[in-house]
Structure 1
């Protein structure tokens, strides 16, 4: 595999080792505009799973707690600021990383659409 693939894997491991979960959108965010093949994406997923991370699995109770904390922080900030808070503001208020806040807000949007 090209070194850039290993760099992506290392970034994902650094970001998500503490939570043990990687959303497919997290992988897309790290890949960004780089051209990667289907096989390379499969390789990335296989490597993450071999490191013990759950990839694209349903939320577990810990994930739900993070989601609740992020949403509570977002609501509190919106009331305090009189506007929609930024990802960075929510991250600071909730104690979560910005990528975790983005995924939580995406998950909340998906649940809302159901």
Structure 2
């Protein structure tokens, strides 16, 4: 917490309204374990919230064990399989973890699609450091 009693996250003083949004979302969704992005938008409503605050809301919900975002569909599963397969194959042939660019070239998907597929291919309960 900051000196004024507000939660602090990476130099971001969390306003009480942000904490109340987090609390309400957790209360609504802790049983299901998943928060849809539309639910976040609904709770935020007309509050003025910055991009950094939205990131903080998502980070806090994930830290509390919730999955944030829509469930993946069959097409996304197909992309994930192709991307993860390409990554495994490249790792074996290169003897190191491949880059996003290498995976993109191998899988035939743009780099931003590869990044999303790799993010979704990791368990949401695993803490990642970047």
Q: Which runs of 5+ in 1 are unaligned?
A: 61-114
Structure showing the higher strand proportion among its residues: 2
Q: How does 1:34-53 map to 2 (within 5 A)?
A: 34-53=47-66
User: Would you identify which runs of 4 or more consecutive aligned residues in structure 1 move more than 2 Å?
Assistant: none
Output the CA distance in 1 between the equivalents of 2:49 and 2:37. Answer: 14
Q: How does 1:1-114 map to 2 (within 5 A)?
A: 1-58=14-71
Structure showing the higher helix proportion among its residues: 1
TM-score (norm 2): 0.44
Q: Which runs of 5+ in 2 are unaligned?
A: 1-13, 74-130
Residues 37, 70 of structure 2: 8 Å contact kept: no
TM-score (norm 1): 0.50
Output the CA distance in 1 between the equivalents of 2:58 and 2:20. Answer: 14
